[in-house]
Structure 1
Amino acid sequence: MHNTADLNPMIERALLLGAETPKTKRPEAKALLEELEELVANLGIGVVGKEIAKARDPNPALLFGKGKVQEILDLAVKLKADSIIFDEPLSPAQQRNWDREAGGKLLIIDRQEIILDIFNSRAATKEASLQVELARLEYELPRMKRAWTHLDRQRGGGAVQRDAGETQLEMDQRMIRGRISKLKKELVEVVRHRDTQRKRRMKVPLPSAAIVGYTNAGKSSLLNLLSDADVMAEDKLFATLDPTTRRMDLPSGQTLLLTDTVGFIRRLPHRLVEAFKATLEEAIVSTFLIHLIDASSPDAEAHYATTMKVLTELNAEKKDILVVFNKIDMVSDPTRLAILKSEYPDCLFVSVKSGEGIEDLLTRCEKKLESFARPMVLLIPHERYDVINRLHEAGAISSKEITDEGVLIKGNIPNRLVEGVEEYHTKAIAYQ
């Protein structure tokens, strides 16, 4: 495997290669290739050309036929490219075969490898670093023979040296398998720690919402706006890898825990979905989801489908989901916006940047919590401050007034607490 993070100074001129297949039609292949260009730009790699090649019957050895392979290699030479980056995922055997066809003169990389390197550069916490390293090693293990083929070629390929190489290869594979096993055990501890934190929160169960969506949809910006947080919100792919949870108060006074999650992307390597399950668990256990979509993207519908596909892999697709189209201020064509609104009539359309539609979003969030809590007015005796403290801990109090008869409280009382305060509700009605 080529580590593009290490090879960045060497990779200066990349030819991006997409594939038009029976499953991937040309318009989709073009959109994916443009997305790959953005991914590559995140690693500081220059692009000298983009090409979509037809693969009517994908060749298991090289993806394309021999003639097309030679055309692509000739184009790379003409453009003075030092690498070919495939949008299609390449199997270890296909990468080795392309290496052989290129005669070692070009680096052969695929989309998965680029995404892994971006994730690696964004990992800021121990948890994210463990998850990325696990995904990288699982990607690298079946490709190690390819790396040793390069070493054999450099040595001259003598029989004794090849035997030595094979022995070293086996040792390296064993070492990587050991590291993978260790990482999985460490991640089990991370999950256990996260469960402990969650159980601590659940002692005072508050409703929660996880913001999910395609990368760069504005999830961190929404979290910052709603909770006055200062989470990094940059206009780049995968700016957020670690879940961030903040507490916010809805207009009614109801408290909501809001979590930002890692962004999804088309053709996200499955091993990353697996590796990031600990992170994405916040989406699974939340009261409801806010699915944020970039309305200004021409591929908004595809982004919606991609996120739903990943949520399905996480068994979270049946959760209560509030779909929100963001960046409506950046949609230049009014017809485009009208089409989206007609296709998604039950969805919200907002601009986190301008604030348009945010009040409607907050109202819808409160409506989502109706099954979680009941609006009530309570008159609690002065000697029962233990009840008042319990309501405070649950974020259930929106207003409070001291009276001679007791403390008059208005709030959204979690269903689990309703039975215990029902008598005070009756007294409040009598008081009013």
Structure 2
Amino acid sequence: MFEVREKPQMVERALLVRMSFNRREEEEDISLLNELEELVTTLGIGIADLMLAHSRSMHKKYLCGTGKAAEVVEYARAHECDCIVFDNQLAPSQQREWEELAGICVIDREEVILDIFAQRAQTKEARLQVDLARMQYALPRMARMWGHLDREGGGGSGGGGAARGMGEQQIEVDRRLARKRIDRTKRELEAVRSQRATRRKDREKNETPQAAIVGYTNAGKSTLLNILSGADIMAKDMLFATLDTTTRSIELPDGQTLLLTDTVGFVRNLPHRLVEAFKATLEEAVLADFLIHVLDASDPRAIEFYNTTVKVLSELGAEDKPSITVLNKIDKIEDQSVLASLQDRFPNTILLSARVGTGIEELQQKCSEMLGDRVRRRTYRIPQYRGDLVALLHNECKVISTDYEGNDVLTTAIVPAKIAGRLEEFAAE
């Protein structure tokens, strides 16, 4: 009733537009417009053309002046477009003004991302988060959906209820229903988050270390988790292939266990309401012991994407987390000077190709080093009559091997620091 409209079924040809207000930032504007093309293509919408429109200043009605607005509309008509997609964020009033001027569907970058998220969400939590973001986006835009009823209103020259048309009354009814549904969705989401918190506490009781894979969308995070864990998570060459967090247990070279979580990818100009809506998902990054920040080294915008990810992590309060930077997709780089430049910008990085498996062992070793202060690999010589200590090792630690020598039990295990102190006198040379 008050959902964002389903564009993929309605739109065949779209004109993509970005309003530029500073010619010195033209390169960045073109880059964002190209990214919008990837986003719209992900929705399956045909693209007629891309247009970078310059305006000296920002205007309230159309973002640009009326002359430039008429130029954009004329260009869309000349290309027989049935939709104009703006990379800039449009206020509800601006969206209505553009639709009245153009006579066709007009949407912005945020609505495109919301539609992609709606198509991709799989788990209950992700669906609730997307529904909440879509409803919050649609609520102030409901007036445009009832324009046909506004014109039916009339009657009376005085103020108050007599001057209100049917459309206004229907809008108020629907807005109340929308707010109730938003409140209900928030309660359901809170219940799901509570369940997630309970599962997290269970993991924390086991004191199993955790790491989160973060990075720009389509950097290769899911492919990396698949290789490390042997999982079969959807990993495709598309934006926002992953919306639901997936956690897998992996064993590191020194024998210790690590819980590794794949997170939703970030994107430039990510709508703030989506950052808020997905905090429950992204908080895995906040609570992790360390981060694995994956960069697509083959993309010329890698540094820019790195900065975007760091910015979003900062909003979540995870900017100071220890992290491993991974330069992924090195198999796609033909000019090695590009790779050398990235290594200069990001020293101590791991060169990796998740697709062919290059650098995986180095990454696993680095993960072990990141947890060096939490656990130790130790060998103990324990008298057989101290079965309580042998049981302690099996219950609280990860036992690698057990041998017997005379009346002693020789046990090698991955031992948490708090346990290692209690067993120090039995440590073997």
Query: TM-score scaled by structure 1?
Result: 0.93
Which residue in the other structure is 1:37 paired with?
A: 37
1:53 and 2:53 correspond: yes
TM alignment of 1:7-86, pairs within 5 A: 7-22=7-22, 25-86=25-86
The one of 156, 159, 172 aligned to 2:154: 159
Q: Secondary structure at the match of 1:266?
A: coil
C-alpha RMSD of the superposition: 1.9
| Deviation per residue, 1:274-322 (Å, 9 max, x gap) | 1111111111111100010111111111110111011001000001011
| Deviation per residue, 1:45-67 (Å, 9 max, x gap) | 00001000113311122111111
Which residue in the other structure is 2:247 paired with?
A: 245
1:152–1:162 CA contact under 8 A, matched in 2:
no
Residue 32 of structure 1 deviates from its aligned partner by 1.0
CA distance 1:407–1:59, change in 2 (3 Å): farther
Q: How many residues align?
A: 421
Q: Secondary structure at the match of 1:9?
A: helix
**Partner amino acid, structure 2, of 1:273:** V
Residue 383 of structure 1 deviates from its aligned partner by 5.1
**Where does structure 2 lack aligned partners over 5 or more consecutive residues?**
156-162
The one of 341, 366, 385 aligned to 2:368: 366
1:48–1:79 CA contact under 8 A, matched in 2:
yes
Which residue in the other structure is 2:403 paired with?
A: 401
**Partner amino acid, structure 1, of 2:179:** R
Which residue in the other structure is 1:89 paired with?
A: 89
1:145 and 2:143 correspond: yes
1:333 and 2:335 correspond: yes
CA distance 1:310–1:412, change in 2 (3 Å): same
TM alignment of 1:11-410, pairs within 5 A: 11-22=11-22, 25-102=25-102, 105-149=103-147, 151-152=148-149, 156-159=151-154, 163-382=165-384, 384=386, 387-388=389-390, 390-392=392-394, 394=396, 396-410=398-412
Q: Secondary structure at the match of 2:237?
A: coil
Residue 389 of structure 1 deviates from its aligned partner by 5.0
CA distance 1:163–1:416, change in 2 (3 Å): farther
Q: Secondary structure at the match of 1:159?
A: coil
Separation in structure 2 between the aligned mates of residue 352 and residue 407 of structure 1, nearest angstrom: 41
**Where does structure 1 lack aligned partners over 5 or more consecutive residues?**
none
**Partner amino acid, structure 2, of 1:76:** A
1:252–1:411 CA contact under 8 A, matched in 2:
no
Query: TM-score scaled by structure 2?
Result: 0.93
Identity in percent:
48
Structure 1 stretches of at least 4 aligned residues deviating more than 6 Å after TM superposition: none
Separation in structure 1 between the aligned mates of residue 289 and residue 347 of structure 2, nearest angstrom: 23
Residue 402 of structure 1 deviates from its aligned partner by 3.5
Q: Secondary structure at the match of 1:251?
A: coil
Higher mean displacement: 410-419 or 34-43: 410-419
Residue 3 of structure 1 deviates from its aligned partner by 3.5
